[in-house]
Structure 1
Amino acid sequence: MLTGLVRRGGRYSIRRVIPLDLQGHYGRREITKALGTADPARARTLLVVEWARQDREFAETRAAIEADKFPAKTPSVDVQQISPTVIGPAKIDRQAGRSSTKAAGRPSPQRPSAAVKAPKQRDSLSSVVDRWAAENKPEDRTVRRTRNIVERFEVACGPLPVQEIARQQVVQFKDALVSEGQTAANINVMIPMLGTVLNYAANKLDLIATNPAANIRVADNRRKREIRRAFTEAELETIFSSPVYADRLRPAAGGGEAAYWLPLLGLYTGARLTELGQLHPSDIVEEGYSLSDGKQKRAWVIRIVEDEARGQSVKNEGSERRIPIHADLVTLGFLPFVKSAQAAKQARLFPAITPNAQGELMGNWSKWFGRYRRKIGLRGTETVFHSFRHTFKHYARLAAIPNDVHNELTGHETGDVADNYGGLSYPLAPLVDAIERYRIPGFKLPAPFVALHKSKNR
């Protein structure tokens, strides 16, 4: 592990000793700052960026001490609640600086008697987020997501007051996300979310003239053959008439029963592979809900949640959600399978799946599915397990399911303000209605699930 990179509770932080000559001014020996990720590769990238930013901060602090330019502390600010990497030199005890000057026998600098101009207003991005959240009252997950993006912006560009953020800094942030390996789709969600805060600062608070993040996007320049697509009807027939389904094969490398259920769950939920592989038996529950006429109904749902204690994570804040279980999955025996796992008190719904050497839960399984897909004759590079997600979106549109509903079912964030009102609190009735309408024309269900203990490493 790189020097300064620490891992706590599955997530990474930077921990760095403050230079000896500055420790008295910061009032501590070390700086610890969360990097906001559990991914080791991304953490290493963020570490380098944040380390360089801290180097600049230390240099600026030394220069400011020499020039004795620190403003007096404002009593109303509780500096103990502010990260030292955010406030930087503002925490320096100016009085201590004066004492050291006198001790050296040098006279204190004379202050001008003329009236001093009031300093320019300087509002931190985090304070704008606080005001935005208080006024608009988005869900907690949306606030957490927005704060995370603001933190990442400050790692890339420094803790600038909102009045000093220009289009140049937003472009710099975009370039930093690109260098981290973020996809165009992810960046085109994060930049608009940052833009929501900046837009609020411009239009509601009059802190800035315009939103500097407006219309900043990343083009998706992948070649067509590199872009994943949905499975065709013929490809679906090939998969679901293959040995796993026709001969009840349960490959050990395919996680035993996971080889049967994960492709079906992908097809009928549109969920991401990791979301399905990390499911706990207790994530499948029966919930009550109300119809528009007040009638009460019940439905079985899959809950996609983040739970660090159980090793569950989601791609973004909008990924937490409920997905009603399709009638075809019930027909195939999914609920008895779940109840058996619950009775056995399994830690995961698919306990035979083993992480790879990098700790990625679905790394090995994904490679197995790629080998299996090629073995049964699907050799194109444009179809992978994620193609089930594209397939679900395709048939959801074919069933005339509204965009906001199938985006909610798949946990897809668009950057629209409506994304703030989804998640686990999204009304269940329209989700149930959508799943009842979801059909795959011409698709023939495989044989119902039968629990087997037949394993072959294929």
Structure 2
Amino acid sequence: MIRRGARYYLRRRVPLDLLAVYGKKEVVKALGTADYAEAKKRLASEWVALDKEFDEQRARLARPADSEAEPQAESPLAKYRQGRSKPRTILQTIVDANKRLNAGIEQSPRSSGPVTDTVRKLLTWDQLVDKWAAERTPTTKTRKDHASVAKLFQSMVGTPPSAVSKTDVLSFKDKLLEKGTSSANLKTKLSRLKTLGSGLIARTGR
């Protein structure tokens, strides 16, 4: 178990025989609490759940290719490994959120409703950061860092969350490079922008 900020997480090594399945050496999962005693309880149950998941993955690997067993729903990881889905890029994250937001505007009635209200409340980056922080409860520093990137994006590009395009994100990246931003710092800023974009997708529907 590890602690990041005020929250606790499960961290467990992936068994050697499953490294090819998971594509990473460790599994890190939020325990959803900042209380140490509660985190220990949740850790135990999550550990057992991971044991079961590992066993299921081994069974899948051992299953013959021509098995007549009932097909099971593929996990996102399996789809990714088969090339049916690709990891989201920062551009895709922000732009997809924008598409869903615009779709909500087009489909909502003239009168005020849930979607309309959401759209109105997501007109500014400050409001988006506030909602993201309320849902994710990040540390004070993490919230400040993400708010700083949102403010920087607003000052450099000027596009609100509901209208961000690929061109806007590329423009933001180019302007950061023009200012002499290092590769590591650039990657961090874009990652934070992606996090806020993911939060926007979660609120506008998938």
**TM-score band, normalised by the shorter chain?**
0.3 to 0.5
Q: Which has the higher contact order (CA 8 A, sep 6+)?
A: 2
Bigger Cα Rg:
1
- Relative to the length of structure 1, the TM-score reads 0.19
